[in-house]
Chains A and B, each alone.
Chain A
Amino acid sequence: MLTIFYIFAVLSVFGALGVLFLRNPIHCALSLVGTFFCLGAIYVMLNAEFVAVIQVLVYAGAIMVLFLFVLMLLPSKDSEQYVNKWSVGKILAGLLSLGIFIQIASLFTANELQLGSKGEYPLEVVEEVGSITLIGRLLFTDYILSFEIIAILLLVAVIGAVVIAKRRFQ
């Protein structure tokens, strides 16, 4: 179990590094899809099957296909985006993100990680009722207001995308 987790962890980090370093944006998108699949596998190991399925369906399936469509619609021939301008800025960016990483990592690996009290859904309950049943129950009872708002947000996003992307004729 642990070795499988490490294999997927290393693969996902390599996919992420591909997004950072590959030149062609289409290769970046494909390596990001690889990262999403590895994260989906890790979600299955963490008993979050629903999240794993929507990760693969929505992220790897829908959002990345959208990215690839836009990449193929826009020919980016200009090579200026690879030129290393102002390498002091790159060093500063590296130092800044190293600082953020050390901050987050020391917070996460602190011995007395401040976790709150245990919730009411241990693994046995989840396996007995089913995780999708539980998620649906929570979505339509406790989080019903957020659910409705998110529906309106999606509607606004769809209409906004159509309005922004359409050609304007004078």
Chain B
Amino acid sequence: MIPIEHILLLSALLFIIGVLGVMLRRNVIVIFMSIELMLNAVNLSFVTFAKSLDSMTGVVFIFFIIVVAAAEAVVGLSIILSIFRTRKTLNIDKFNLLKW
């Protein structure tokens, strides 16, 4: 039997690596990948709790999370595409049109 704390620690570690990726990387698409990584870490803790609590609700919620992640990836990537057409760069520091 895998101890529940170890899986939760793995999930926390993956989440933190995702947070660091969002804060440190400057490429928009890599930042997007880090967000997917964080969503996966949360999914892992959902599965862990669903198993340790003998519940099925966590698995149903993961279904919803994955659908929302897919929708988010589609819309976000198309926004990145259309920003790239005007700014010709993927560096997030250059996306400063809304800054004053």
Binding site for B on A (CB under 8 A): 1-2, 5, 9, 12-13, 16-17, 19-20, 25, 28-29, 32, 35-36, 39, 42-43, 45-48, 50-51, 54-55, 58-59, 62-63, 66-67, 70-71, 73-74, 76, 78, 80-82, 90, 93-94, 96-98, 100-101, 104-105, 108-109, 113, 115-116, 118-123, 126, 131, 134-135, 138-139, 143, 146, 150, 153-154, 156-158, 160-162, 164-165, 167
Query: Who on chain A is nearest to B53 by CB?
Result: A119
Given contacts A16-B37, A46-B2, A119-B55, contact A67 B66 (CB under 8 A): no
Q: Is the CB of B81 within 8 A of A73?
A: yes
Sample of 5 A–B contacts (CB below 8 Å): A47-B51, A66-B74, A76-B27, A81-B90, A146-B64
> Which chain B residues border A94 with CB–CB below 8 Å?
20
A60 to chain B, nearest CB (A): 11
**Which chain B residue shows the least CB distance to A85?**
B93
Q: Which 10 A-B pairs have the closest CB atoms?
A: A119-B55, A157-B71, A165-B78, A93-B23, A108-B8, A161-B78, A16-B17, A81-B26, A104-B12, A101-B16
Closest approach, in angstroms, between the C-beta of B24 and any C-beta of chain A?
A: 6
Tell me if A78 and B15 are in contact (CB < 8 A).
no
B13 touches A62 (CB 8 A): no
* Cβ contacts under 8 Å, B37 to chain A: 16, 19, 32, 35
Say which residue of B16, B29, B62, B67 sits within 8 Å of A25 (CB atoms).
Answer: B29
Complex Cα spacing A96 to B22, Å = 12
Cα–Cα, bound, A28→B17 (Å):
13
Whole-angstrom distance between the alpha carbons of A166 and B18 in the complex? 30
